[in-house]
Amino acid sequence: DGGITQSPKYLFRKEGQNVTLSCEQNLNHDAMYWYRQDPGQGLRLIYYSQIVNDFQKGDIAEGYSVSREKKESFPLTVTSAQKNPTAFYLCASSLLGGTYEQYFGPGTRLTVT
Amino acid sequence: SQQGEEDPQALSIQEGENATMNCSYKTSINNLQWYRQNSGRGLVHLILIRSNEREKHSGRLRVTLDTSKKSSSLLITASRAADTASYFCATKQCKETSGSRLTFGEGTQLTVNP
């Protein structure tokens, strides 16, 4: 998990509330990613960013929003519009181009009741 | 079916045995990567194999890639209890519009019994 941090590790929210998950990296990577993982499943891409002030939707962007104001930071907001927000959220970063490995943070487990 | 499907979904072996996991994909790729995830943790990169490579080794890991069959295998030799984890393949598609993104499979849950 070195070089990329996510906070908090566990997060509990009431239904109808927006919540923001933090992701910071000190690897000087241009690209950053947010994934969602449900129990026993693979990773699904929510959003990714390849440069500051720009980001692209992944496969399941509905109900989520992101910003990339700094190279080091890529926060994810889970809005009240997300129907099933309870999941494990993983942030990753990499050099540009897709020919490099992605470095993952430790994840944030979000529970919405 | 998704790009990047692992087979089997779950594998249980005894310590010292070899473990083989397979990954199939659908579109042309630039490279294929394998990652490991311990329960409740982030993923850790294991190995990357480019589309023009057929085999790669790293310690007890051996990865093969067959682009004609659109498949890859990950072999872990002389397994240890500490190898117990989920293993995911991820592909970088050749599409120009895919940018830096990878597409992950559903994973194989490996259990190595002491």
Query: Would you say A19 and A87 are in contact if contact means Cβ atoms under 8 Å apart?
Result: no
Q: Which two tokens stand for residue B35?
A: 């990652």
Distance CA A68, CA A55 (A): 7
Which chain A residues are within 8 Å of B105, Cβ to Cβ? 42
Q: Which residue does chain A place closest to B99, by CA atoms?
A: A97
Closest residue in chain B to residue A31, using alpha carbons only: B100
Confidence of residue B17 (pLDDT cuts 50, 70, 90): very high
Residue A55, CA distances (Å) to A15, A66, B40 in order: 27, 8, 27
- Report residue A22 CA to chain centroid gap: 8
pLDDT (tens digit per residue) in B51-87: 999 999 999 999 999 999 999 999 999 999 999 999 9
- Model pLDDT, residue B99: 72
What DSSP designation does B31 have?
A: E
Residue B100 has pLDDT above 90, yes or no: no
Question: Which of A4, A6, A25, A43 to mutate to test binding with chain B, by most B CBs within 10 Å of its CB?
Answer: A43
CA separation for the pair A42, A34 (Å, rounded): 13
Q: DSSP 3-state assignment of B98?
A: helix
Q: Whole-angstrom Cα distance, residue B19 to residue A100? A: 26
pLDDT value for A64: 97
Beta bridge partners of A66: A76
Interface of B with A in 57-86 (CB under 8 A): none
Interface with A, mutate which of B1, B94, B101, B111 (most A CBs under 10 A): B101
Mean pLDDT of all residues in B86-106:
85
Q: Do B101 and A33 touch (CB under 8 A)?
A: yes
Is A35 in Cβ contact with B48 (below 8 Å)? no
The pLDDT-based confidence of B98 (bands split at 50, 70, 90) is low
Q: How far lies A59's CA from each of A18, A88, B43, B59, in Å?
A: 21, 16, 19, 35
Evaluate the omega torsion of the peptide bond into residue A8 and state whether it is cis, within 30 degrees of 0.
yes
Residue of B40, B44, B98 lying closest to A98 (CB–CB): B98
What is the percent of chain A where pLDDT is above 90?
87
Tens digit of pLDDT for each residue in A21-67? 999 999 999 999 999 999 988 999 999 999 999 999 999 999 999 99
Inter-chain touch B107–A109, beta carbons under 8 Å:
no
* Higher pLDDT among residues B109 and B99, named by residue: B109
Start-to-end Cα distance in chain A: 29
Q: Is pLDDT of B23 > 50?
A: yes
Collapsed DSSP state (helix, strand, coil) of residue B5? strand
Chain A residues touching B106 at Cβ < 8 A = 41-42
The pLDDT, as a whole number, for residue B97 is 63
pLDDT band with cut points at 50, 70 and 90 for residue B94: confident
Average pLDDT, chain A: 94
Evaluate if residue B1 carries a pLDDT over 60: no
Q: Rounded to whole angstroms, how far apart are CA atoms A35 and A61?
A: 10
Q: Is B96 helix (H, G, I), strand (E, B) or coil?
A: helix
- For the cut 80, the answer to whether the pLDDT of residue B2 exceeds it is no
> Is pLDDT above 60 for B14?
yes
Q: How far is B41 from chain A (nearest CA, A)?
A: 5
| Token pair 């397994």: residue | B79
Residues of B in contact with A98 (CB under 8 A): 30-31, 92, 98-102
